[in-house]
């Protein structure tokens, strides 16, 4: 008996699958991942092919997708915040292009919410984090994730299938080491991974982990589900034949200056 739940399905058929961390990236596009109001005050920049930036009106927050020209499935999503426009980044998030797009969308949605709170408050929500780290990992226990505390100042959470995990550095860390690392697949050979630097607001990490363990299935075409994770996936139900698509992103104006700096 085959362990591939997709063997009898048409490659073009749409299905709903779980768990999310093994479902594959889905469409790798800013159109799907970014909820920003480009028709109002956010700006879109496309300085070159395979490179797209979005910047907030205050120019203190930006996010990007940079794909490798010859390998469209390889690239990096990056989010960074600055205390002053174009200054050094106070925190940064990097994610592989193969990260499931639903996780990216939920992360960017929380980013926009945090930005709006910051904009209409006397508190600096983008740089002053008063939320305890456990807000980001406490929900994992209800989903059966294991927990191990190490003597090197880290704690590790593993998915029930062993093919996803979160590493949190709770002790003092250097600027070259991420405070949070999340991955799908085996730790030594992840299908995708995300890194959150020290200083990243906990609500962003919490939004990402909440999306990671969500029981809401994700939509995929059978042919887009990675062959190496199929036997670990659960097919929830066929998705509706007609899918709703979002409109295209606005055409970016010709670049007037290089994109924001990417260094920490």
- What is the model's pLDDT at position 82? 94
Q: Where would I find the beta strands (DSSP E) of 140-249?
A: 146-149, 154-158, 164-169, 180-186, 189-196, 218-221, 234-238
- What is the model's pLDDT at position 94? 98
- What is the model's pLDDT at position 208? 98
- What is the model's pLDDT at position 126? 87
Token readout for 164 is: 């996803």
pLDDT along the chain (264 residues), means of 10: 78 94 95 95 92 95 94 91 92 97 98 88 78 95 96 95 96 77 93 96 97 97 90 76 46 43 38
- What is the model's pLDDT at position 228? 86
Alpha carbons 90 and 118: distance in angstroms, whole number: 15
């Amino acid at each position: 008996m085959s362990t591939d739940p997709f063997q009898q399905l048409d490659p073009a058929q749409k299905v709903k699958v779980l768990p999310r961390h093994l479902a594959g990236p889905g469409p790798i596009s800013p159109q799907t991942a970014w909820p920003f109001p480009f028709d109002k005050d956010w700006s879109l920049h496309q300085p070159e092919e395979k490179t797209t930036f979005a910047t907030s009106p205050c120019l203190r927050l930006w996010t990007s997708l940079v794909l490798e020209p010859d390998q469209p499935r390889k690239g990096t999503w990056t989010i960074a915040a600055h205390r002053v426009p174009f200054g050094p980044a106070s925190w940064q998030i990097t994610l592989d292009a193969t990260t499931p797009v639903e996780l990216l969308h939920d992360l960017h949605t929380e980013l926009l919410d945090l930005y709006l709170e910051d904009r209409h408050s006397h508190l600096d929500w983008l740089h002053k984090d008063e939320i305890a780290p456990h807000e980001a990992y406490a929900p994992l226990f209800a989903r059966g994730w294991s927990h191990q505390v190490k003597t090197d100042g880290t704690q590790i959470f593993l998915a029930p299938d062993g093919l996803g995990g979160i590493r949190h550095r709770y002790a003092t860390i250097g600027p070259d080491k991420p405070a949070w690392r999340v991955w799908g697949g085996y730790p030594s050979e992840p299908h995708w991974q995300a890194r959150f630097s020290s200083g990243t607001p906990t609500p962003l990490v919490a939004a990402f982990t909440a999306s990671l363990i969500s029981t809401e299935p994700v939509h995929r075409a059978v042919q887009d589900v990675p062959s190496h994770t199929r036997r670990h996936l659960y097919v929830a139900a066929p998705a509706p034949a007609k899918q709703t698509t979002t409109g295209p992103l606005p055409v970016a104006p010709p670049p007037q200056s290089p994109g924001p700096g990417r260094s920490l």
